[in-house]
Amino acid sequence: MTNTEHPSLPPPDVLTELSLQVLLATGDGPLHGYAIGKDIEARTLGRLDPTTGALYQALKRLTVDGLLRPVSPPSRGDVDARRKHFAITPAGRKAVAAEIERLDTIVALARSRRLYPARA
């Protein structure tokens, strides 16, 4: 499936907002799916509260794409070993950097057209 067949799909190198937020959540270390969802909800002040289905689809897609990888849970006693933990991969870090660069370019354009205020 290509973008010419489905023009509403983002280009393959552009992360969806949920995918970007998932990768950002795992930037400091591995987390399980529920913790990733709660981190996203907290950081976005509830603006983005991924449903379980959407979150686990994103986790699967990011894993298949090599941007996340499943890891063993920490061996601490307070960790439920049944929960699947995910860690960002080097390719995932590169994807985040590329996406932030893309967004930065958009912000710069908006500022140049006086659609978004410059920083004081």
Ramachandran sector of residue 29 (left: φ over 0; alpha: ψ -120 to 50; beta: rest): left
Q: What is the rounded average pLDDT of the residues 93-120?
A: 93
Question: pLDDT (tens digit, 9 = 90+) per residue, 13-64?
Answer: 789 999 999 999 999 999 999 999 999 999 999 999 888 899 999 999 999 9
Query: What band does 81 get if pLDDT is binned at 50, 70 and 90?
Result: low
Higher-scoring residue by pLDDT: 4, 120:
120
Is 10 a member of any domain?
A: no
Is 75 a member of any domain?
A: yes
State how many domains the chain has: 1
Whole-number pLDDT of residue 1 = 42
Whole-number pLDDT of residue 16 = 94
Cα 96 from Cα 62, distance rounded (Å): 12
What is the model's pTM?
0.82
- Find tokens 């932030």 and name the residue: 100
Cα 103 from Cα 14, distance rounded (Å): 10
Residue type for position 69: R
Is 4 a member of any domain?
A: no
Is 5 a member of any domain?
A: no
Q: What is the CATH number of the domain that holds 39?
A: 1.10.10.10
Is 11 a member of any domain?
A: no
Cα 46 from Cα 59, distance rounded (Å): 20
Lowest mean pLDDT among 33-42, 44-53, 70-79, 97-106: 70-79
Lowest mean pLDDT among 4-8, 52-56, 65-69: 4-8
